[in-house]
Amino acid sequence: MSANTSKIPVTIAGTGCYLPERIMTNEDLEKLVDTSDEWITNLTGIKERRICADDENTSDISTKAAENALENAGIKGADIDLIIVGTVTPDTTTPSTACYVQHNIGAKSALAFDISAACTGFLYAMELAQRMISDGHYKNALIIGAEKLSSVINWEDRNTCVLFGDGAGAAVLTAGSENTGRILATELGTDGSQTSILNIPGGGSACPIRAENVQDKLNFLSMQGREVFKHAVNAMKNSAEAVIEKAGLNADSIKLVVPHQANIRIIDAIADRLTIPNEKIFVNLHKYGNTSAAAVAIALDEAHREGKIQRGDNIILVGFGAGLTWAAIAIEW
Ligand code: ACO
């Protein structure tokens, strides 16, 4: 992947997000498993997370985030010609969540599909959408990162249940001009040798939904936290460094870094290694925990709406997830 030298610049025209109403605090989790607010706060920085209602699906929260982003961009669903949803918790294995969203927002002529890249899903979607727009085939793309992780969490496993939450974030990407902001450079990667350290073993063709697999709790997310932590720091630091160089930026010319929101200790370690001051790193994980593909999308929308990103600012998005997958994207807003 290289710096974006395409003729059609791709700009972010709007952002949006949606968080389910129900809040689950660390104190609530103390009643479910042997944990404490102190442990969760000290080791992760998370204080609370949002949980979908039983009848609220990934496509529902995706649709609300999408409507929010469309309004922010000042365009209608009918204007969208491409929808990509990054998720590991689709409503159904097939059809894709993007198909439900297409119908819900009335984007009748949009091509719609999901991608599975775990926490990096939103950034993979951004890379795909910008390539498809800069090729000249599509004009207005809606990219979404959305998860109902509460549906794949074992609420008896303290190693994982304290870390994750539900939510959705979206962005509208559009063909820009010489006078608009643009995606400057991208750096993405995958390491398929580490599939076992973070996965959901059941529910796919290798381990179908059968009574014995459910009994063994194979339908839940499983993680080797320490291993994931190590890889997360290295991959995010290396990809962020590479994209900063490709885009011709440096610590001074970057206004804001929006990292994946998994653990404050991971974020602090990256900031330290990149020598970027903490005030330039956007953090909201204390409110939402790790929402996987939604995390960077929600954080981007919050930073945007809080006025932390202004026209002309250079920002870096960086994420990491199961796969392993990682991505960093440099944007001139
Ligand atoms: N409450 C209290 N104690 C706990 C809890 C809990 N919820 N969970 C684990 N412990 C205990 C462990 O049993 C262990 O006890 P022991 O020392 O008696 O054996 C102790 O706390 C330390 O546990 P570790 O797992 O070694 O702690 P660590 O410093 O590695 O922190 C954590 C754990 C927070 C999970 C960290 O490893 C981490 O954040 N890893 C990365 C996770 C992550 O980012 N995942 C998502 C990646 S992105 C995606 O695609 C989803």
DSSP letters along 250-312, please?
Answer: -TTT--EEEE--S-HHHHHHHHHHHT--GGGB---HHHH-B-TTHHHHHHHHHHHHTT-S-TT
- On the question of pLDDT at 6 being above 70, the answer is no
**274 CA to centre of ligand 1 in angstroms:** 24
User: Of 52, 99, 119, 161, which residue is the catalytic one?
Assistant: 119
**80 CA to centre of ligand 1 in angstroms:** 41
**100 CA to centre of ligand 1 in angstroms:** 35
Q: Is 65 exposed, middle or buried (0-12, 13-18, 19+ CB in 10 A)?
A: buried
Nearest CA, atom 11, ligand 1: 159
Helix axes 294-305, 121-134, angle to 10 degrees: 70
- On the question of pLDDT at 2 being above 70, the answer is no
Provide the pLDDT for residue 1.
47
Q: Reply yes or no on whether 234 is catalytic.
A: no
Which amino acid is residue 176, in one-letter code? G
Give per-residue pLDDT as tens, 224-234.
Answer: 999 999 999 99
183-332 topology per CATH = Peroxisomal Thiolase; Chain A, domain 1 (3.40.47)
- On the question of pLDDT at 288 being above 70, the answer is yes
Joined together, the tokens standing for residue 277 give: 């001051």
Q: Which of 33, 43, 157 to mutate to test the pocket of ligand 1 (most atoms within 8 A of CB)?
A: 43
Is there a shared CATH topology between the 10-178 domain and the 183-332 domain?
yes
Q: How far apart are CA 77 and CA 249, in angstroms?
A: 35
Put simply, whether the predicted model's pTM sits higher than 0.85 gets the answer yes
Q: Reply yes or no on whether 260 is catalytic.
A: yes
- On the question of pLDDT at 325 being above 80, the answer is yes
**Is 159 touching ligand 1 by the criterion CB < 6 Å?**
yes
Q: How far apart are CA 267 and CA 260, in angstroms?
A: 8
Domains in the chain: boundaries? 10-178, 183-332
10-178 topology per CATH = Peroxisomal Thiolase; Chain A, domain 1 (3.40.47)
